Amino acid sequence: MDIPELSIRELDALFDQSPVAMTFTDVDLRTRRANMAFRQLTGLSEEALIGRRPSEVPGAGRLIDTHFLERTLADQVIKEGIPVVNMSLERGRPGKRLVLAWTAYRVVDNGRVLGAVNTLTDVTGPAQAGTELRQANGRLDLLQRAGSQIGTTLDVHRTAAELAALAVPELADRVTIDLLDPLLQQADLTDPDLGELRFHRVAMLDPAAKENLMFAVGDLITMQVTRRPAVAFLRGEPVVAGNPAEIRESGLSPGIVQSLLDRGVHTFMTVPLTARGATLGVAGFSRAENPQPYEEADVRLVCDLTARAAVHIDNARLYTREHESAVTLQRSLLPRDIPPVAGLDIAYRYQPASQGAEIGGDWFDVIPLPDGDATLVVGDVTGHGIHAAAIMGQLRTTGAALTRLGCPPGQVIRQLSAVVAAQGDEAGATCLHARYNPRTRQCQLTSAGHPPPALRHPDGRTELIDVPAGLLLGAGQDHYTATQRHLPPGTILAMYTDGLIERPGEDLATGMTRLTRALAAAPATSLDQLCDSILARLAPHPRDDVALLLARPA
């Protein structure tokens, strides 16, 4: 049988009683019908809706972007007949985020366009859950990236800059890192009884800033210990301001507060950098372009990140202190001045490993002998740090004493090997011993596992002297065979440690070839200039210590 058409009354009931918020707008975008669900969702009365375009309804702009809605209805839905399906419309009520899914489709009767039906669905809950999940995943991703992006070097400033780069823009639009001045000076941390905290800004990242705000990298910043941020810093607690009013009441100096507000900052936090029970400095995070205030989850994440960065900064600080101590010890154990040797011009250089690499145990010595001979020594202790420097000092002192007592080179080296062996199985060293007789111009060369010396002849030719490489010092007793070479006037003997010729992924033979070329290429008028030229060519930023000793018979 035929199904009767729905009556107008039944259609009205269907429209009005639908749990889905619905409106019908005519071709002029004026609302003709709005059901109860729509009025309840929007909080708008029927009198406020009927006969008005969306942009004319009082308060509608707080819920949705009415101008965007009208453009889409007119140009896409009514004119082109292209429906809108579940388009997200997001607006915020005071203290509440609202996300609506909007659907609209054109209504046509016998080819005549009547208008459009609109539906709104509140999807704030699912949208909020999705947002929170994305935020949680983003925080987890930041923590994972922190493991590989922070602390890539043992450099305080680089580590601070890495923390700032990781946080912008995911966590902040602007980040500053300030470290205590005594920490950077390798002194005891500031005593709060002195009345003020002294910081140096070591990193700042603010891509949108047109100029530095108040303080630039390198500037000294002081803060009275009675101010709220200083009190929180000394207690190891973060300070959070969620809006401009709280920024004004944060206890920061008026100048800093004004610079933040001028920048457009509406929320910020400061978090102490604490590692191994010591507070090293403070990191500041702020938002201007990002409209969201900092939440508790953000504070926890930033505290975690800064704690990780603080450990790396402290590692860099401790390394720097040990590196400087080792360099000081190393230099104190090397000759202050080379004594003059009759018949020999001598020049030397000692260059410690560049910052970021550990100091080694390289040494050199020149020892004039009572009979007019001279002994030249270059050596290299395996390992790094203060321990290697200390072993080096023992070897240099022992070798010099035995040489002055008249011991032959082979016996000197065997005694040095015993000194190294007494340090334990992990100790080792190499040594090249050269005894020069100015009367006969003969040079006796003895090696304990050391790279061969290079020779530049008066005509500019260069070669490596084939010296039998005995066992490393400390590797056992050996009979060390000497090599004799005649050194006519103008010949240059180059003795060095492996830091001069080593490069990652390259064998020593390639490095020694570069050395002979550098020795041949540089003018030989001045041995000091030749030393500088060789170092500049081969080891401008050495990864290991370099000792270089040049000798030329007069």
Q: What is the pLDDT of residue 107?
A: 92
Instruction: For residue range 489-504, list pLDDT tens digits in order.
Output: 999 999 999 999 988 8
Distance of alpha carbon 341 from alpha carbon 539, whole angstroms: 28
Q: What is the pLDDT of residue 135?
A: 58
Q: What is the pLDDT of residue 97?
A: 65
Distance of alpha carbon 543 from alpha carbon 357, whole angstroms: 6
Contact assessment for residue 118 and residue 100, using Cβ atoms and an 8 Å cutoff:
no
Under the banding of pLDDT at 50, 70 and 90, the label for residue 50 is: very high
Task: Please provide the DSSP assignment of 451-511 as one string.
Answer: PPPEEE-TTS-EEE----B-PPBTS----PPPEEEE--TT-EEEEE-GGGT--TT--HHHH
Residue 155 scores a pLDDT above 70: yes
Residue 384: other Cβ atoms inside 10 A: 19
Q: Which of 154, 177, 155 is closest to 165 using CA atoms?
A: 177
Mean pLDDT of 123-141: 60
**Run of H or E including 196:** strand 196-205
Q: What is the pLDDT of residue 380?
A: 92
Q: What is the pLDDT of residue 295?
A: 85
Residue 261 scores a pLDDT above 50: yes
Q: What is the pLDDT of residue 140?
A: 63
Under the banding of pLDDT at 50, 70 and 90, the label for residue 357 is: very low
Mean pLDDT of 140-168: 82
Q: What is the pLDDT of residue 3?
A: 43
Q: Which of 494, 495, 498, 496 is closest to 543 using CA atoms?
A: 498
Starting at the earlier edge strand, list the strands of the sheet with 546-553.
344-351, 546-553, 492-496, 454-456, 462-464
Contacts of 323 (CB under 8 A, 6+ apart): 355, 358, 359
Mean pLDDT of 292-299: 86
DSSP 428: -
Contacts of 218 (CB under 8 A, 6+ apart): 200, 201, 202
Q: What is the pLDDT of residue 183?
A: 73
Instruction: For residue range 414-435, list pLDDT tens digits in order.
Output: 999 999 998 877 788 999 999 9
Beta-strand relationship, 361-368 and 344-351 = unpaired
Q: What is the pLDDT of residue 83?
A: 93
Q: Of 1-15, 205-219, 366-380, which gets the smallest average pLDDT?
A: 1-15
Q: Of 25-29, 54-58, 367-371, 521-525, which gets the smallest average pLDDT?
A: 521-525
Structure tokens, 376? 């030249």
Mean pLDDT of 512-521: 92
Structure tokens, 45? 């009365």
Q: Find which of 120-129, 183-192, 361-370 is predicted with most confidence, using mean pLDDT.
A: 361-370
Distance of alpha carbon 335 from alpha carbon 316, whole angstroms: 30
Share of the chain above pLDDT 70, in %: 88
Using only C-alpha atoms, the chain has a radius of gyration, in whole angstroms, of: 39
Contact assessment for residue 366 and residue 378, using Cβ atoms and an 8 Å cutoff:
no
Residue 145 scores a pLDDT above 90: no
Strand partners, 341: 344
Longest alpha-carbon distance in the chain = 135
Residue 2 scores a pLDDT above 60: no
When the pLDDT of each residue in the chain is averaged and rounded to a whole number, the result is 85
Distance of alpha carbon 217 from alpha carbon 220, whole angstroms: 9
Q: Matching CATH topology for 8-122 and 133-320?
A: yes
**Cα dihedral 467→471→477→481 (10° resolution):** -10
- The 3 state secondary structure assigned to 30-71 is CEEEECHHHHHHHCCCHHHHCCCCHHHCCCHHHCCCHHHHHH
Q: What is the pLDDT of residue 457?
A: 94
Contact assessment for residue 169 and residue 141, using Cβ atoms and an 8 Å cutoff:
no
Q: Say yes or no: domain 8-122 is CATH 3.30.450.20.
A: yes
Residue with tokens 């043992």: 154
Structure tokens, 169? 């823009």
Distance of alpha carbon 29 from alpha carbon 44, whole angstroms: 17
Mean pLDDT of 460-484: 89
Under the banding of pLDDT at 50, 70 and 90, the label for residue 518 is: very high
Residue 340 scores a pLDDT above 90: no
Amino acid at 144: Q
Residue 94 scores a pLDDT above 60: no
The helix/strand/coil state of 427 is coil
Q: Cα 519 vs. chain centroid, distance in angstroms?
A: 38
Backbone angles phi, psi at 200, to 5 degrees: -115, 130
Residue 212 scores a pLDDT above 60: no
- The 3 state secondary structure assigned to 210-243 is CCCCCCCCCCEEEEECCCHHHHHHHHCCCEEECC
Contacts of 279 (CB under 8 A, 6+ apart): 180, 189, 233, 234, 236, 272, 273
Residue 386 scores a pLDDT above 80: no
Boundaries of every domain in the chain? 8-122, 133-320, 334-553
Contact assessment for residue 378 and residue 450, using Cβ atoms and an 8 Å cutoff:
yes
Structure tokens, 267? 């929320």
Task: For domain 334-553, give its CATH number from 3.90.1150.10, 3.60.40.10, 3.40.33.10, 3.40.50.1820.
Answer: 3.60.40.10
Contact assessment for residue 116 and residue 77, using Cβ atoms and an 8 Å cutoff:
yes
Residue 129 scores a pLDDT above 70: no
Residue 190 scores a pLDDT above 50: no
Structure tokens, 268? 């910020």
The CATH code that applies to domain 133-320 is 3.30.450.40
Contact assessment for residue 467 and residue 452, using Cβ atoms and an 8 Å cutoff:
yes
Q: Which of 323, 244, 313, 212 is closest to 272 using CA atoms?
A: 313
Residue 99 scores a pLDDT above 90: no
Q: Of 232-236, 410-414, 520-524, which gets the smallest average pLDDT?
A: 520-524
Q: What is the pLDDT of residue 318?
A: 79
Under the banding of pLDDT at 50, 70 and 90, the label for residue 95 is: very low
The helix/strand/coil state of 334 is coil
Q: What is the pLDDT of residue 210?
A: 66
